[in-house]
Copies of this chain bind each other. A is one copy, B any other.
Amino acid sequence: MTKPPLTVRELIRDHYPTLTQSERKFANSLLENYPAAGLASITIVAANAEVSTPTIARMVQKLGFKGYPQFHQALLKELEAKVSGPTQRRENWASEAPEGHMLNRFSQAVTDNLSQTFSNVDSGQFDAAVRQLAKTEGRLYVVGGRITRALADYAFTHFQAIRQRVTHMTSSSATWPHYVLDMEEGDTLLLFDVRRYETNLQRLAELAAERGVKVVLITDQWASPIAAVAAHTFNCWVEIPSAWDSNISTMMLLEAMIAATQEESWDKTKDRYDRLDELFDTTRLFRKFS
């Protein structure tokens, strides 16, 4: 059986009667500011408690540690455990699929990716990028690479509904110079580049930036070199158990941006949506929504 790991606090309480005066001085100092007062080096900790280093060295051995480093580690472990909390990880959304099933492995990877991506988004950057994307004075260009072309397409479809002056630059880079010709200050370039980073995209971004176009870059956790010229860069975690990279977090960030952009200019957007709906109704392309 494994011995239940006592906290340092408990250890001190248990040993308190056998502690000497100076040792209690340190014990009190630690309990008063627990566990911070025990996290520095033995020298500093001793100075703070106004006792000598040997006193502390002797005491931690009394508490049952081999030496100060072990004591230090124990405090750290406690702190860590406290932060990671009551196992908030591992969402409870496994399906009925067996343990090692792709569905479950996948869900785990996706959770991790989304979590990483979220905690690395700077909300200030996000807001700034959204304001830029909502600027209808300038034109909004959207472009992606070999894989992210689909994301660019998705972005285009939605932004087109939200605002005017949106252009999807096709992935055939031969046509890009034509677009660059018309780019001017105040325009925005929403660009997707995940590994393997494409040299063509980099050239495009550089040319656009030179012209005063604000580049909003959505890339992976390793950051495309385009970040150097981008006004706003967002990193998405993309690793999954597979030979290729996942774009779910990328997609999520994109959708969040679309949603925020839409909110930013809702009064203008609402009107567009209504008119779009009318058009759909008249062309009867869709079944009535039920």
Write the residues of chain A forming the contact surface with B, with a CB cutoff of 8 angstroms: 9-10, 13, 16-17, 24, 28, 31-32, 36, 39, 76, 79-80, 82-85, 88-89, 91-98, 101-103, 106-107, 110-112, 114-116, 118-123, 126, 146-147, 149-151, 153-154, 157-158, 161, 195-200, 202, 221-223, 225, 227-228, 233, 235, 240-244, 246-248, 251-252, 255-256, 258-260, 262-263, 269-270, 273, 280, 284-287, 289-290
Contacts and interface: CB of A to CB of B under 8 A. Distances in A.
Contacts of A111: 91, 114
Contact of A246 (B150, B255, B269): B255
A21 to B, nearest CB: 9
B93 A119 contact: yes
26 contacts: A17-B223, A32-B116, A39-B80, A92-B115, A93-B119, A94-B118, A95-B119, A95-B120, A95-B121, A96-B122, A102-B126, A102-B260, A102-B263, A103-B121, A106-B255, A110-B252, A146-B157, A147-B157, A149-B157, A151-B154, A153-B153, A222-B290, A243-B270, A247-B251, A248-B248, A251-B251
B146 A9 contact: no
B256 A222 contact: no
A231 to B, nearest CB: 14
